[in-house]
Amino acid sequence: MTQGEERPPSGAAVIQSYLPALGQGPGVYRMLDARAQVLYVGKARNLRARVAAYARPSGHSPRIARMIAETASMMFLTTATEVEALLLEQNLIKQLKPRYNVLARDDKSFPSILVSREHPFPQIRKHRGARRERGSYYGPFASAGAVNRTLNQLQKVFLLRSCSDATFASRTRPCLLYQIKRCSAPCVGLIDEAGYGALVADAERFLQGKTTKVQATLAAEMQAASEALEFERAAALRDRIRALTQVQSSQGVNPAGVAEADVVALHMEGGQACVQVFFIRAHQNWGNQDFYPRTGAGAAEAEVLEAFLGQFYAEREPARLILLSHPIEDADLMTEALSGKLGRKVEIAVPLRGEKAELVAHAARNARESLARRMSESATQARLLEGLAEAFALEAPPRRIEVYDNSHIMGTDAVGAMIVAGPEGFRRSDYRRFNIRGGQAAPGDDFAMMREVLTRRFQRLLKEDPDRASEAWPDLLLIDGGAGQVSAAAGVLTDLGLDDIPLVGIAKGIDRDAGKEEFHRPGMPPFALRRGDPVLYFVQRLRDEAHRFAIGAHRARRAKAVSATPLDEIPGVGAARKRALLAHFGSAKAVARAGVEDLSAVEGISATLAQAIYDHFHAGG
């Protein structure tokens, strides 16, 4: 804003001016500041009544009073129903991330167990993402570790294969898993399709919570084998019963009276919040996960929990029963919205007694303990950021640190990586990878790679936020490299008019020995930190995380390049059709030689697509 320019009006008077044009139906409203940045997104059963409440001169919490004072304009969207307003509100919050809203800040998917139906001998494996493959899905599990532990035990009990279809087809003798009694070796015919199907049915009964029937069947089979003097078979069945018992005991909390529920408990302290979610499926505890929503600068428990539920279930399937530690304001709307998403009735309850209350109390205790640990870690992180600011002569402890690294092999499949850290540790949802395009740069030119990565990163940031008003702008850039890398990076920042962003390069130092790192800054002599300095360890950890992420991104790109085939270039041939073609013909070269009629014989390939595939390989021929 230039000197002498009048600041636009803001506050309750601005809000009051919108009231005459508002109706009394449901909708969503946005409150914006003088720079048109969204401060808050809210829903209302009655838009006029809700906005009128903000126009009152007093009676607001400090958080709401600050928000009203900053409001310079508002936007409105009317909806046909209150549920539609709730869904729209949560979508806008996730998209816009307003400063005064509660924000869940975690959108990762949860893994499940898939019993695939693409093969006569079904495979059991971990699955994450969209459920496109034919088969039975069981989940969610709270973590990959929880799935892996369950799969490990299920292999012991039910002897189902975990190998890929290609591996299955290529086996000529049993693998190690058969030798250690983790698989029944259907690949070499040591069990027929009917016998294997019975194992699959038992496994699915277990995953559905019908463990008593499974155990009774195994016990009866063991008794029959013993009576028939088949002691080796009886011993194998005994081992399977023991493994099944171990699975059940390792689940921890196994509620007898709750078949399926998500247990959601909130604990708030010192302006911070932790939400603990337990997944109860088939009367078993399938793990728990903690979340730390941004509390919107002082929101109450009901608002935090309701906002968390709306965002948490935006892209996830809810359980039929959701048990909460605190009541929420619009439980009826949330119930209706989640029931519509699931396609059957969802119940939301705050239990006060009995087994359900015990489950909530257990989750609440976990939330309290998790938040205490996080607050302790945050205090340590704050001290490290203060030390970093002192070491690198920053004006204040950085809120956002971006660390950059490159990874390649002789210039091929080059990838640039950016990781982000701040007061709450690593911010993995902000990590980015950049496939190096190269242009005129020589293969393996690390300086040119760094210039490309930083140019792309900050040109985009300038386009999205030219006023540099958002939290996406870094307070410190760390580059893995010495004077040359820093010079290349500084040149990019200068060209873009961003040379006020602090920049530090981390060089390996003498003998490339950890602990002897040298730090380079534009136009200044290099310096080192003393061995054993906590700040040095902190910087090493940041650099190592960037290096880990860069190598992972490079390996993923290299693996994709290795598995690439000419089929990837054909419109209409996605991953599933590509697999079907390769499975049918054996190779991309054989697909290229195939005729239209042969191509049409493949499942999922229509006559039109078969012609398109044939034309792709015979164009100009």
Does residue 565 or residue 607 have the better pLDDT?
A: 607
Highest mean pLDDT among 111-125, 241-255, 584-598: 111-125
Q: Residue 2 pLDDT more than 50? A: no
Which domains are seen in the chain, by residue range? Answer: 12-96 (3.40.1440.10), 112-250 (no CATH), 261-269+295-372 (no CATH), 401-561 (3.30.420.340), 566-618 (1.10.150.20)
Average pLDDT over residues 188-209: 86
Average pLDDT over residues 511-540: 83
Average pLDDT over residues 218-232: 78
> How high is the mean pLDDT of the chain?
84
pLDDT at 4: 47
CB neighbour list of residue 567: distance below 8 Å, 6 or more residues apart = 573, 578, 581, 582, 588, 591, 613
Task: For residue 440, name the pLDDT band (cuts at 50, 70, 90).
Answer: very low
Pairing of strands 321-324, 347-349: parallel
Q: Residue 598 pLDDT more than 90? A: no
Average pLDDT over residues 604-610: 87
Task: Say how far residue 226 (Cα) sits from the centre of its chain.
Answer: 49
Average pLDDT over residues 411-434: 86
DSSP assignment of 314-360 equals SSSPPPSEEEESS--TTHHHHHHHHHHHHTS--EEE---SHHHHHHH
Task: Say how far residue 313 (Cα) sits from the centre of its chain.
Answer: 13
CA-to-CA distance for 192 and 194, rounded, in angstroms? 6
Average pLDDT over residues 591-612: 86
Q: Output the six-digit token pair for 187.
A: 């690949």
Task: For residue 613, name the pLDDT band (cuts at 50, 70, 90).
Answer: confident
Picking from 252-256, 416-420, 546-550, 609-613, which range would have the lowest pLDDT averaged per residue?
Answer: 252-256
Task: Say whether 503 sits in a helix, a strand or coil.
Answer: strand
Q: Residue 235 pLDDT more than 90? A: no
CB neighbour list of residue 248: distance below 8 Å, 6 or more residues apart = 211, 254, 284
The one-letter code for the residue type at 602 is: V
Closest CA to 72 of 111, 37, 112: 37
CB neighbour list of residue 289: distance below 8 Å, 6 or more residues apart = 110, 142, 143, 276, 277
Average pLDDT over residues 235-239: 73
First to last CA, the chain: 65
Does residue 284 or residue 310 have the better pLDDT?
A: 310
